Amino acid sequence: MKKNIKYNGLRSYTQRNKKMKLEKICIASIFTIIILYILVLNLRSNISQEITDLQEVAAVESKEQENTVEENIREESEIDTTNEEVYSNTYIDSERMAFIETISDGAISNYNKYGILPSITMAQAILESGWGNSELAVTHNNLFGIKADLRWNGAVATIATSENYNDSTIANFRKYDSIDESIEDHGKFLYENSRYAEYGLFNGKDYKSQAQALEDAGYSTVKDENGEPIYADKLISLIEKYNLMQYD
């Protein structure tokens, strides 16, 4: 029997055993609480770090998205600029394309009748009428600026016109009932004037040679500021800019 234990009967041992068990349970509980507290602190720290990391990732992704959007905008801008350069020969706006389509059938018909390339007829119509918006075209359906000379027995329109680089004059022009009539008369006018054949208009097999023949034959006397004829250059520029050779 232990010396430090005073015997007070069986009940004394039972009470001492209970007290020791309670002390052990309390110590174990304290350690458990401490461990749980440490785990909770670590967990909170990890969660906080993960939240911080996620915020950083989100910020990076947001920045990348912003950069991507900006890059796409720049690329689209570059594409638009490139497209303007690449397709400037085929597209300007719907109104001009509509005008081209309006006169294309008549131009092709003139080629079949008189041998004038459709691109030439169309370029002349565009140049002479300002895309069908000139006073002569709108009011009198004259797309080509053909004057009313002694060979013309139809209606006449008298208006001011520009002949050279920087001058103007009053002249009589042929007046038509429709644009189709103007296109038909244009082919007939060139075909019946011997000087156009003399300058090789109908022998020309491409738009450049026919444009030059029109200038050489004097269809227009338009000149630049240096006094150089530029009618053929204007026609060729229009044909190539709007891809009118596709109708030839």
Q: Domain residues of the chain, as ranges? A: 8-86, 94-247
The sign of the torsion formed by the CA atoms of 197, 199, 205, 211 equals: negative
Consecutive H or E run containing 160: strand 156-161
Give the separation between CA 236 and CA 215, rounded to whole angstroms: 11
Specify the pTM. 0.61
Domain 94-247, second-level architecture: Orthogonal Bundle (1.10)
In 10 A of CB 242, how many CB atoms? Answer: 21
The answer to whether residue 161 scores a pLDDT higher than 80 is no
pLDDT tens figures, 30-58: 877 888 777 777 777 666 666 666 666 55
Class of residue 136 by CB neighbours under 10 A (exposed 0-12, middle 13-18, buried 19+)? buried
Q: Quick one: tokens of 96? A: 């001009």
pLDDT tens figures, 163-219: 554 566 788 999 999 999 999 999 999 999 999 999 999 999 999 999 999 999 999
The answer to whether residue 144 scores a pLDDT higher than 90 is yes
Mean pLDDT of 132-155: 93
Mean pLDDT of 120-130: 96
